[in-house]
Structure 1
Amino acid sequence: MGVAKLYSEKGLEVLKLQVSEDSSPRVQAILHENGAGSVQLSDPFRRGQEPSYQKRFERVKSFLEDLGYLGHPGPACAKFWFANGLGRVIVYPIESLILSVHKRVKASKTTSWQRNSDQLAFLLPTYGSRGAISAATRMTYGNAFARAAFRGGGPFILKDSKDVTTQALKRLGYLDEWNTDEYEAMLCFVNSTHNKRALRKMDLLPEPSDSSLDVKDKLRTAFLSCAQSGQWQKPAAVAGQMKRIVDILKNTGLLETKETSGEYCSGYSQDEISQAIKDYAREQQLPPCKTFNCLAWRILGHIQPEAPTRRGTVEFRK
């Protein structure tokens, strides 16, 4: 979307690759009038099927910039749409969102649009790997990111407040009834692969000298910004992490190997697993953790210190 044109304008040759398999997204992420969101499966969205799309994109970009909606077109369009009370809209695929804005603005007779006030946060949660997918998964979702967006549960808008970071972490699943420590929630959030990459690009990645309050302010800035796509990664599922941790505990002898029914925790009581986890953390001299998400991240990071997604661990002060 405009990337090929930018390279061409710099005198670089751009070659279009022919994709042998249809990777058109079969997922729609929908933003509702109240700021909540949903996802649904759909017919494939054919990128490039709109012959005048590039011209419409440029018109929308110019229109929004005049109103102060600068940066990535995803959050810019979504915030404009919500701020002006235009109702329900598909925000992913992003091409659909841009065409919706173009159509609504073109059809409207008003010239009085709500300008950007930098008081809205647009988030499109994603969940799971964005790597290679099977043919069956492709048939269902279209591509890896479409699957991640579908499993993310849907976009949402938050109004700015001193607690907007806390609200975002709750909506993304980093804070819940089992994970109640905000410092540890932020630690897990900033060390998630895609979140870390996005924060680094925005020059908002926490520094070791930062306090929790500093990081909370940085995340607030990131959530309110249009500098990136608004896509933020949710934490790994507890069941998946627990399965890997139980396997580690059995391999190290801290958890007795038992005959099971196939379920990762079958045959073990909660107290047995909890005590084994504490013993493992003590033996390996891992930093103390109050929440499961943080403890799981510490343990899995300890056994895979050289994994690409684990490199450059971000730490900061409480």
Structure 2
Amino acid sequence: YMHMYSFFIIFSIIPGNLTSASEFFLMGLSEDPDLQPFLPFLFGLFLSMYLVTMLGNLLIILAVASDSHLHTPMYFFLSNLSLADMGFISTTIPKMIVNIQIHSRVISYAGCLTQMSIFILFGSIDDMLLTAMAYDRFVAICHPLHYPVIMNPRLCCILVLLSFFISLLESQVHNWIVLQLTCFSDLEISNFFCDPSLLLKLACSDTYTNNIIMYFFVAIFGFLPISGILFSYSKIVSSILRVPSSGGRYKAFSTCGSHLAVVCLFYGTGIGVYLSSAISHSPRKDAVASAIYTVVTPMLNPFIYSLRNRDIKRAMRSFLGRNLISVSMECRLKNAEKLSLYT
């Protein structure tokens, strides 16, 4: 999918008169003199975090797909969120790991646009899916009797497709804004991936209009999901407070505890990145904050849902148990075949 999306960006969006920049240099963490002795450690750290993230999210998807009891709207959205997290972290971290290993900073102009677009695409999908999951919890707690009718499979698929197309629109808007730049005063990007706001700072022409358009769309695409989540949880809290027993209130709130933790982690780290870049003006601090946002959030999401959700833990144990038994049986059969050949 990512290769097809890259092809689409390069050949259907980039006009014939390309910008004068043919490549950029990602400064990131690897060019900080203070961090040079720690590059092998950073390589191992980010590689481990990337593998843990991919494995954790893959286990969530396989566990949901293999257990018929988890074929519900909540877990359908969760498996799509895990898929989006895998794409989100795969857009930036592998490139950074390779750059640390081969001591290279170069990324082509087309590659930069592709990375930027896919990063915004999957980040926005995360945002939209969290909003859909908040709506799902709102219907489950505030309208439990109508839940199967409202959250039907058709509506769930529509919400996921709508999340994808809205996110695709947002990514292409950012692409269009960057494509309006005709030249760059500097080719060094002070981060480990192509950020549209940093590319606008490097432009040698006036980018006031570009910044206004970009922040306008960021405000729209960011404000609407946050508004939907806040509205859903305001209704959820008011509904829970009307439950007479404390046990009932705890049980109702525990159904959305994992989602609320993921929402706080996603928006908390995202807001922290922008506040850090606005206050500190330090490239190294901005790069570290971006690394936390792009790595820690996708890595912790599977742990949050698996540790707080008994159904997910049961499905994972069942899935891993079945596969371990099948592998063990295959090994025994192969050993038996070898012994029969010798005898």
Richer in strand (by share): 1
Compute the TM-score of the two structures, normalised by the length of structure 2.
Answer: 0.25
Higher relative contact order (CA 8 A, sep 6+): 2
Richer in helix (by share): 2
Compute the TM-score of the two structures, normalised by the length of structure 1.
Answer: 0.26
